[in-house]
Amino acid sequence: MSNFTKQEIIELLIAWAALSIAFGLAFSGGIFAFKGFNQIIVFISSLPTYFVIVGAAFLLHELSHKFTAIRYGYPAYFHLWQTGLLLALGMSFALGIVFAAPGAVYIYGLTDEKRDAKISLSGPLANMIVAVASLVLYRFTFIPLMARVSYVSAFIGVFNLLPFGPLDGSKIFKNEKMWWIALMLIGIAIILM
């Protein structure tokens, strides 16, 4: 735990909780899909499942960035982005759509563009590994949780692969096009299944 600050752990936990609620709302169709008290109870009782699903997708994504950066010798810390957190909750609440950007890992002292691309690549790569492994497990076990882990992990990976703004995709697309194409194809294929 020496690589984590107390503040970073708190911010990671807040982002994890908010994104878990956001995906739970989105899978429920947003707040307007709730027709009665029973549906609210079902939603609340399903939240632990979304914590598992989002933990497998979001936490592994961010921790992959952090530990890849540390492996290259750079200090790296997750920071909450309050606007992104509010967008995730607000859009899933009102529209049943998730904007999955409640924060990011900030890397200090990084000036090497190629290393930056490799560190950026580590998050979506972790997502696609989880997505494919979960899909394979689902095909053998038919446990619905595995299908949801696969979908959410692929979704978070594809979202982060979008090649613009501060998202991972802008750096990956510029420096690692073959990886970008491969991961994007895998992610889209899983999302459309």
* pLDDT for 2: 60
Look over the chain and give the mean of its residue pLDDT values, rounded to a whole number.
93
pLDDT at position 1: 44
Taking 50 as the threshold, does the pLDDT of residue 94 lie above it? yes
pLDDT computed for residue 133 by the predictor: 98
Collapsing DSSP to helix, strand or coil, 78 comes out as strand
Q: Does residue 131 have a pLDDT over 70? A: yes
Per the CB < 8 A criterion, the answer to whether 138 and 56 are in contact is: no
DSSP state of 71: H
User: Can you say whether the dihedral through the CA atoms of 162, 166, 167, 168 is positive or negative?
Assistant: positive
SS3 101: coil
Task: Give the chain's count of helices (H) and strands (E).
Answer: 8, 2
| Boundaries of every domain in the chain | 6-192
